[in-house]
Chain A
């Protein structure tokens, strides 16, 4: 199993540009979580999906952020327009809900720098 795959690993962009981060879940997993990690705030949950349906997006900072799951194995997190304060490492994580283990498997992260 290749694990949770995120792309790009690093992105440097200028303020105002659109950023799209991608995540491929582990095959068979049905829950997907997007987290953001910064020095100041640590790990923050942005949004999570169960069976492709968004369950809680209260952590999404602003309307500039949006996330989708077009199918059971893939998700995108989009920031439009991006701002310097969006600079962070963005992680997605997946798990198989209902197994009782509640163990998340994380991707390696996408480091975003907005200039």
Chain B
């Protein structure tokens, strides 16, 4: 079945450091890919998405490119802030039908000043 694998956390970075959180997927067909973010005590919020190969999703300085050849959707940010501390989830859904999102296990990011 469809699945998402993302790098284990926790990840601890200093402010202004470069961030990469790896995500790879297994799916039939051409899924849509997402990154969701969960701040402490809150629900998940959509951070960015990409619906087809080579698309780049971006938001709040974060970027991820849909790479079909490597089945990857790695999340990057050039300069993290303390306020980026959260849990980040990679997810996919098939584009056909109203299918649910399949989530990775999440990666906890802590940014220290």
Residues of A within 8 A of B (CB): 4, 31, 33, 42-43, 45, 48, 50, 55-56, 91, 93, 97-98, 100, 102-109
B binding-site residues for A, Cβ under 8 Å: 32, 34, 36, 41-46, 49, 89, 93, 95, 98, 100-106
Q: When the two chains form their complex, are residues B46 and A103 in contact, meaning their CB atoms are under 8 A apart?
A: yes
Most buried by B among A43, A50, A55, A91: A43
**C-alpha gap A103/B35 in the complex (Å):** 11
Please, which residues of chain A bring their CB within 8 A of the CB of B105? 42-43
Cβ-neighbour of A31 out of B44, B89, B98, B104 (below 8 A): B98
Which DSSP category, helix, strand, loop or mixed, fits chain A's interface?
strand
Q: Which residue of B lies closest to A31 (CB)?
A: B98
Not counting A33-B101, A108-B41, A109-B43, a sample of 13 additional A-B residue pairs whose C-beta atoms are within 8 angstroms of each other reads A31-B98, A42-B106, A43-B89, A43-B105, A48-B100, A56-B100, A93-B44, A97-B98, A103-B49, A104-B44, A104-B46, A104-B101, A106-B36
Indicate which residue in B34, B93, B104 contacts A42 across the interface (CB closer than 8 Å).
B104
Complex CA–CA separation, A107 to B100 (angstroms): 16
Selected from A45, A100, A106, the residue in CB contact (under 8 A) with B100 is A45
Residues of chain B within 8 A of A31, CB atoms compared: 98
State A55–B80 Cα separation when bound (angstroms).
40
CA distance A100 to B46 in the complex (A): 15
B32 and A102: CB pair below 8 A? yes
Q: With a CB–CB cut-off of 8 A, which chain B residues contact A100?
A: 95
With a cutoff of 8 Å between Cβ atoms, the chain A residues found around residue B42 in the complex are 108-109
What chain A residues lie within 8 Å of B43 (beta carbons)?
4, 91, 93, 106-109
- Closest CB in chain A relative to B41 CB, distance in Å: 8
Q: Which residues of B contact A48 (CB under 8 A)?
A: 100
In the bound assembly, the distance between CA atoms of A50 and B32 in angstroms comes to 19
Q: What chain A residues lie within 8 Å of B45 (beta carbons)?
A: 106
In the complex formed, the residue of B with least CB distance to A9 is B41
Q: Name the residue on A nearest B105 (C-beta).
A: A42
Which 4 pairs across A and B sit closest by C-beta, in order of nearness? A106-B43, A42-B105, A97-B98, A43-B103
